[in-house]
Amino acid sequence: MLNLKKNDLKQASVGMLFLLPNILGFLVFTAVPLVISLFMAFTDWNLEMHNMFQTATVKSVGFGNFVKLFTDPDFFTYLGNTLFLMIGIPFGVAGSLAAAMLLNHDFKAGSRKLYGIIILTIVMTVCCMMLVLVGMASTAMTLLVCGIAGAVIVGGSVGGQTVYRTLFYFPSFTSGVATYILWKKLYSPENGPINNILQPILDWLTPIAARLSPKAAAGIAGVLLVLMGLAYAIAMFRRCHRWYYGECGTASVIIGAVLLIIPLLCAQLWSGLGWGGAFGFFFAAAGVIALIAMFFFGRDYKCVSDYGMADAIIIDGIIMIGLFILLGMTNVVLAMPAEATSADGFVAPKWLADYYWAKPSIMIMGFWGAIGSNNMLLYLAGLSGISQELYEAADIDGATPVQRFWNVTWPQLSNVTFFILVMSIMGGLQGGFEMARVMTKGGPAGSTTTLAYYIYTEGFGTGRLGYASAVAWTLFAMVLCVTIFNWKFGNKYTND
């Protein structure tokens, strides 16, 4: 039994009094609203009928709001939008790792690298000036962006690591709304710097593409589709190979395989080539058969089922996006001759104003934000924790830089990668509100409405607090699943 002296109790009560404002704040502004919102999720609470001026009482609807939610097509559309935006997560993770590795080098080392960077700076500055001279910088914004890019390179060359680390971390400590407004301007279809640079390139490509016959376009599209198949086969082989040699568990290989197969199955629906669907199905079926055969014959080097999960999700996730890009490219190539010979020729995307481009636009912006985020800091910390002895051993074995990365850096960072991945997925599920509110208002035609924005519009636009709470708690359940996944698989299997 706890034996506290009078003095201890007194000290404890004083301590509690100090903590009281914080605890009260937490209770009033977090804990109590949380409990109330859980209660609201099971009621018909609607601001139009249930507010301090109305006499109607809030009634329990049991699981009615949740039933409605799962039969509401909008919910699934917005969940789809949320998940679509999350496709960029593997790229964001890879980008932050690349940034961290880049920033782990000291650019101010006084070696030949510095001269290389200075030369690169001069070349880029000259390029920017040429862009301006040829009229590709018609707006002040383009000049500004070019100027900032030049300043970054010059600053980094002179100030070294510290300057770059500060600059790369900029997106994290800049106000979200300010960056969204800046990106909105960058995406401006007519005056934005992105299209100011892109449109002349497309104008240059238009006559070239116009000379392309439909048959030639189909041929190129076919080559791209074959490339997609090959990339899939190599990735699948890599995954199976890792499984066989005990570098990847059974659950991980299945998740990786699913990610790889998805684009091939989508080829059934989206491929513009007549044989694209059958081609995708053949490869997908071959992959499944190979997996079954592999599991049937077993392996010599065993490991636990979830070993290498982060690697599977990140690497195969990135390859999945690459496969989707190749699939999309086949359709782009097929459409090129007709588009090039149309009255307007190739036209730069309308970005946020276009239904089909709005989501990718937000994804690109998210990718930019992810590179210089806390993930980069976590990777930097992770990189500094890798023993130099491992690199020295790899050097003695004659490892190339690529081999050093795949066999030392990447496995040593697996716990950091896993944590980042899980946190990014949780952030992705809850994200998209500020972007939608500031940049698109959820449009065009609901294409950028995420679950977080949907909760807001239902709660404070329509006033259906009960239903909005049900959506919020469903979102919480999804986040909880990811958290449980993290508890179960996180912080394990780091190679010592």
Partner 1 sequence: MNKLFFGILAILVAASIYTYLSEPEQQTGYPLIYWNSDPNPQRYEQIEMFSRWLEKTHPELQKTPGLPAFAVKLDTASNQSTLIQAVSGVGGDLLDFSIVPVFYAMGIIKDLTPYAKEGHFGLDTTYPGIAGLLSSYDGKQAGYPCNVAVTNFWINKKTFEKYGVKLPKEEITLEEFERIGKEFVKKANAGNPDKKVFFCSAASGFGSMFNLINARSQGMDVFNETLTKSTVNDPRYIAPMKLLYKWTYTDKILPTAADVASENVETGGYGGATFTHFIQGTYAIVVTGRYALIRFRELPKEEQIPLYCVQYPQSGKFRNMIGSARITSMYAATKDPNMTKYFFEFLASKDYNDHIIRGVDGLPPNPKFAINNPEYLKPPEYPNEGNVHANELKWAMELALPIPQTPYYSSTGRDWYVYALDKYLNDRATAEEAVKEAEDRINMAIQQTIRENPKLARQYAEDTAIQKKIDQYKADGTKIPAEWIKNPYYLKYYKSKDMLAEPERKK
Binding-site ranges for partner 1 (CB under 8 A): 11, 14, 17-18, 44, 46-49, 51-54, 56, 181, 185, 188-192, 350-355, 443-447, 457-458, 460-464
132, 135, 133, 134: which is closest to 145 by C-alpha? 132
Nearer to partner 1, 396 or 445 (CB): 445
Q: What is the CA radius of gyration of the chain?
A: 27
Nearer to partner 1, 207 or 385 (CB): 207
Nearer to partner 1, 44 or 306 (CB): 44
SS (H, E, C) the chain: CCCCCHHHHHHHHHHHHHHHHHHHHHHHHHHHHHHHHHHHCCECCCCCCCCCCCCCCCCECCCHHHHHHHCCHHHHHHHHHHHHHHCCHHHHHHHHHHHHHHHCCCCCCCCHHHHHHHHHHHHHHHHHHHHHHCCCCCCHHHHHHHHHHHHHHHHHHHHCHHHHHHHHCHHHHCCHHHHHHHHHHHCCCCCCHHHHHHHHHHHHHHHHHHCCCHHHHHHHHHHHHHHHHHHHHHHHHHHHHHHHCCCCCHHHHHHHHHHHHHHHHHHHHHCCCCCHHHHHHHHHHHHHHHHHHHHHHCCCCCCCCCCCHHHHHHHHHHHHHHHHHHHHHHHHHHHHHHHHHCCCCCCCCCHHHCHHHHHHHHHHHHHHHHHCCHHHHHHHHHHHCCCHHHHHHHHHCCCCHHHHHHHHHHHHCHHHHHHHHHHHHHHHHHCCHHHHHHHHCCCCCCCCCCHHHHHHHHHHHHCCHHHHHHHHHHHHHHHHHHHHHHHHHCCCCCCC
Nearer to partner 1, 283 or 453 (CB): 453
Q: At closest approach, how far in Å is the CB of 463 from partner 1?
A: 7
Nearer to partner 1, 4 or 288 (CB): 4
Nearer to partner 1, 140 or 258 (CB): 140
Nearer to partner 1, 92 or 192 (CB): 192
Q: At closest approach, how far in Å is the CB of 110 from partner 1?
A: 45
Nearer to partner 1, 133 or 445 (CB): 445
Q: At closest approach, how far in Å is the CB of 439 from partner 1?
A: 10
Q: At closest approach, how far in Å is the CB of 462 from partner 1?
A: 3
Nearer to partner 1, 33 or 110 (CB): 33
Contact 312, 255 (CB under 8 A): yes
Nearer to partner 1, 192 or 317 (CB): 192
Q: At closest approach, how far in Å is the CB of 483 from partner 1?
A: 30
Q: At closest approach, how far in Å is the CB of 202 from partner 1?
A: 14
Tokens 């914004």 locate to: 141
Q: At closest approach, how far in Å is the CB of 366 from partner 1?
A: 19
Q: At closest approach, how far in Å is the CB of 323 from partner 1?
A: 26
Q: At closest approach, how far in Å is the CB of 9 from partner 1?
A: 14
Q: At closest approach, how far in Å is the CB of 8 from partner 1?
A: 13
